[in-house]
Amino acid sequence: MRRITALIVALALLTVTLSVGLAGTSSAQTIPENPVTNDTENQTEQQTNARFIDENTRVLSVNYNEEEETATLVFESDTAQAITLADAGYLSEGQSGQIPRKSRAINGQGSITIPVTQVDGMVAVSISTEQVLYGLVIEPRTQSIWERTNSRDGWLGGVSVTIVMGTLAAYRVKNNDPDSPEEPE
């Protein structure tokens, strides 16, 4: 009887593992963090890893400080221009009012630090230049294992559990002597 119980537990664990394993995962890209220096080799490497906002503006690095709830972005601009950052998560939290933003004139390299709002693990900012309004996700949204599942996964899990339980019931009916008393476990 203990063998059957162990087999049932093993099949149940296998079923749960397969159901959760079938769920897809999502991924998001973030900008690699690079220190800003004046070396020619490092500048070439930074331009390769930079996120282009428009033809004159690039984000070289992003630093999110979770404790202070701030984000610091390092920009490089080919022309003198005003760059404005705004907290894109502010409205997602259901708040009304003025959206936190910061502007700075940048010619060459410069950084801007702005307070940001984390919503469901995601942090995002909008970047405004003279030519474009650009959205940038700094921290991708976090998901639990249940958020990754869909109806197909639930259906497969339910069918699997039904088959395992039906097989167990059929085995017990076939191999159980109806005349023998049941033994308490």
In the Cβ-directed half-sphere of 149, how many Cα atoms lie within 13 Å?
Answer: 16
- Measure Cα distances from 182 to 3, 122, 170, 175 in Å: 17, 56, 17, 13
Mind listing the pLDDT tens digit for each residue in 142-160?
666 666 677 888 888 888 8
The C-alpha atoms of residue 113 and residue 70 are separated, in whole angstroms, by 7
Q: Please name the helix (run of DSSP H) or strand (run of DSSP E) that holds residue 142, with its range, or none.
A: none
Contact 13, 154 (CB under 8 A): no
The C-alpha atoms of residue 74 and residue 60 are separated, in whole angstroms, by 5
State the helix-helix crossing angle for 2-22 and 151-175, rounded to 10 degrees: 170
Q: What is the pTM of this model?
A: 0.52
Quote the tokens at residue 86.
């705004």
Least confident of 80-84, 128-132, 168-172: 168-172
What pLDDT shows up at residue 109?
A: 93
The C-alpha atoms of residue 57 and residue 83 are separated, in whole angstroms, by 9
The C-alpha atoms of residue 117 and residue 95 are separated, in whole angstroms, by 11
Mind listing the pLDDT tens digit for each residue in 93-133?
666 778 888 999 999 999 999 999 888 778 889 899 988 99
